[in-house]
Chains A and B, each alone.
Chain A
Amino acid sequence: MKYFRTHVLVCVDPECLSKGAHDIVDALNDELVATGLIDEVQVLETSRIGACSQGPEMMVYPEGVHYAGMTVDDVAYIVEEHFLKGRVAKKFILPIKSIKDEELTAPTAKEIRVVLRNCGIIDPENIEDYIAQDGYLALAKVMTEMTADDVINEIKKSGLRGRGGAGFPTFLKWTFTKQEKSDIRFVICNADEGDPGAFMNRRVLESDPHSVIEGMIIAAYAIGAKQGYIYCRAEYPIAVNTLNIAIQQAKGLGLLGENIMGTDFSFDLEVRMGAGAFVCGEETALMNSIEGKRGEPRPRPPFPSVKGLWEKPTNINNVETYANVPQIILKGADWFASMGTEKSKGTKTFAMAGDINHTGLIEVPMGITLREIIFDIGNGIRDNKEFKAIQTGGPMGGCLPKEYLGLPVDYESLVQAGSMMGSGGMIVMDEDTCMVDIARFFMEFTQEESCGKCTPCRVGTKRILDILERICAGNGRQGDIEQLEMLCSEIKQDSLCGLGQGAPNPVESTLKHFRDEYESHILEKRCPAKVCKALIRYQIIENTCTGCTVCARNCPVNAISGERRQPHSIDPDTCIRCGICIQVCNFNAIEIV
């Protein structure tokens, strides 16, 4: 093997790609050739290193220097400074981290990396990188030392539960599928991560695809399946590509396909792509889609473990669930069960978005509080504003107010609070958020994504949306709240699948925790957060206005009038409430009432 004194890992996560990471790689290689360093410095493409929002980014080893925010024009400078002259190019540096330092794998003290352990460290398109990090060692252990029942027992002892959100014990699913009398069984990986703002699975698939593949092979061995499918959404072309490369490489080494590791166990794996339908993340809809049909859910029971793909017993787990499996086998169930709470073991990845200082992916032990996540890891609310609510569980989750900041994040606590774990999206909202508007926004989403098969979901979500739109437009009526509550409980009870059953959650939780905001909208025709355009008015504070005319000149609809050096005024009938006047006013002389 060729020896290089320096390794440069350039992040080619789609976020960095969108900012020209490939150009950086090309420029680096060109510059290394030009400076004669090409035999000393190796440039590798890797997935996320940790600061994509400041990307493009790269990591230089062995020093562990983390650069971000450079352009192609800066590459020559970095090569000269760092690789030629041996001093850090300070201009682009992020805090120094060394590869042996735990800090690299867990960016903050509260985080633990199990599922994300290899992200940004290995080249996902090179199976040897994965093997060097103890990859496929768990599979070897399973193949040589463990029976199928041993594997299921180990998973049982670990307490692993489904990471897709519902939290069903993984070992039970495996046991049910194994118990069914059938000569054919399937394992499926649900990689149809559709919740807006949730991209944990994408990161794992693109950065560490073999951890998922290894988990699936072990599951297949445990339940006796010969064929598996990874159903990945079409919005993730890079993940699909990475997976296909990984599968080919695993096959090349005899880790997949006929007679795995020389044993008589054979298992084949195929990637299936969606075509853009949110409901396909629901397991029965997903199986219909693999069969080439409309992705509509099927009634349950029968559950997939009894009658799944092509009516055969099928085990279906989420990406993150499978990615945990090799680590459990390798480090033992006790190690895994030592993290988390009594009923929720291990870690969970979350995607943080919204009005929070540090957005992005985190992995934390179960049982951590929302406060720790938002304030210790997320570094608090942007612009020093007040925290108002956090939405957990994606578009079918609930909004929790500040009284719940001490809530431990585990399956049961979140459901009790009126939300859910979901796949792991978390959206933080500050004081300027209107909760009625947020409920309307999420309802718009679920309404559009309702597949239309069952009436409660198809018609019910539309009725809820109609009422919410009316309330936001200032036409709320007495009795609207009661009608919303009635609709929510009916839709929850009567819908066929998780989409309909969860759709009312954002409305129910905001009704419960922010009822006064609904009442203000309906009874006083007032939006307390000053968001709903029909319920707000822009006006000029006479004493503060200097009559500089900036607002009048910028108003797109000429709603502002007044003489120079005299206080101006806004005609509320012409004003479209676009907010440009507030942005351009230098004297804070415009207010929303």
Chain B
Amino acid sequence: MTSKNEKDRLIIEAIDSAIDHFGDSREELIPILNHVNRKLGYLPSEALEEISNRLKSSRSQLFSVASFYHMLSTKPRGKHVIQFCESAPCHIVGGREVWQALKEAVNLEENETSPDGKWSLITTSCLGLCGVGPVIVIDDDAYGNVTPEQIKDILAKYSD
């Protein structure tokens, strides 16, 4: 478990690098939130507070933006985030069975994070990879034509 100081340091580091990159104007809020969300895995309330100070913008405004977009999370996420495409084209080519197998393999329901902090399971809107559905994405890796039987092997690649 990271200590409070360590966590604060990581937050400041993430925000610094975001503002270095995008500047501190209000209109850059979404790129900044995206960047920090990516670095930390989610947007802790301490981070939102710090960003609100730097951008001179109210916390309520920031929270309203952070909670609007699916890809920004205000809750902690696991080390590896599994995204399952829940769109129609994946649905009709066997997505339902893959979803079932995924849930069983990591023992999670949608939007849950495993107690050991390894996995988060979320659904995503269409990734545009419809020709190779069903599609799952783990962190930045996309897997196409996934069958329920492959799930175990795919997950095993993330052994750390």
Contact = CB atoms under 8 A, between A and B. Distances in A.
B29 interface: yes
B129 A18 contact: yes
B69 A199 contact: no
A273 B34 contact: yes
Contact of B27 (A14, A53, A291, A449): A291
B70 A276 contact: yes
**Which of B27, B29, B92, B126 gathers the greatest number of chain A CB atoms within 10 Å?**
B126
Given A15-B129, A18-B129, A235 B28 contact: no
Contacts of B64: 294
Nearest to A292: B29
A273 B30 contact: yes
A354 B92 contact: yes
B130 A359 contact: yes
Contact of A236 (B34, B70, B128, B140): B128
B103 interface: no
A276 B123 CA distance: 11
Interface in A266-298: 272-278, 289-296
Interface stretch (A133-141, A189-197, A208-216, A546-554): A189-197
B65 A276 contact: no
Size category of the binding interface on chain A: 35 or more
B130 A351 contact: yes
Contact of B132 (A53, A198, A296): A53
Contacts of A294: 64-65, 68
B15 interface: no
B68 A295 contact: yes
A18 B65 contact: no
Contact of A292 (B65, B91, B126): B65
Interface in B4-51: 26-31, 33-34
Contacts of B33: 275
Given A202-B128, A236-B128, A197 B68 contact: no
A196 B134 CA distance: 13
A293 B71 contact: no
B105 interface: no
B14 to A, nearest CB: 16
Given A273-B30, A294-B64, A353 B88 contact: yes
A274 B128 contact: no
A17 interface: yes
A360 interface: yes
A237 B71 CA distance: 13
B146 to A, nearest CB: 9
B30 A235 contact: no
B125 interface: yes
Contacts of B141: 18
Contact of A15 (B29, B31, B132, B140): B132
A97 interface: no
B82 interface: no
Contacts of A92: none
B129 A276 contact: no
Nearest to A451: B68
Contact of A275 (B69, B87, B142): B69
B87 to A, nearest CB: 3
Contacts of B140: 237
A445 B90 CA distance: 14
A234 B143 contact: no
Given A196-B89, A355-B92, A360 B126 contact: no
Nearest to B146: A18
A52 B125 contact: no
Interface string A248-274: 000000000000000000000000111
Contact of A234 (B28, B68, B71, B92): B71
A188 to B, nearest CB: 14
A427 interface: yes
A441 interface: yes
Contacts of B70: 275-277
B127 A273 contact: no
17 contacts: A18-B135, A53-B131, A53-B132, A55-B132, A194-B126, A197-B87, A234-B34, A235-B128, A275-B69, A277-B69, A292-B29, A292-B65, A294-B68, A295-B68, A351-B130, A353-B89, A445-B88
Instruction: List 4 tightest A-B contacts by C-beta distance, closest first.
Output: A196-B87, A199-B128, A276-B70, A275-B69
Given A195-B126, A196-B125, 15 more contacts: A14-B142, A15-B144, A18-B143, A53-B132, A197-B87, A197-B126, A199-B130, A272-B31, A273-B31, A275-B34, A276-B69, A294-B65, A295-B68, A354-B92, A359-B89
Interface of A: 14-15, 17-19, 52-53, 55, 193-199, 202, 234-237, 272-278, 289-296, 351, 353-355, 359-360, 395, 427, 441-442, 445, 449, 451
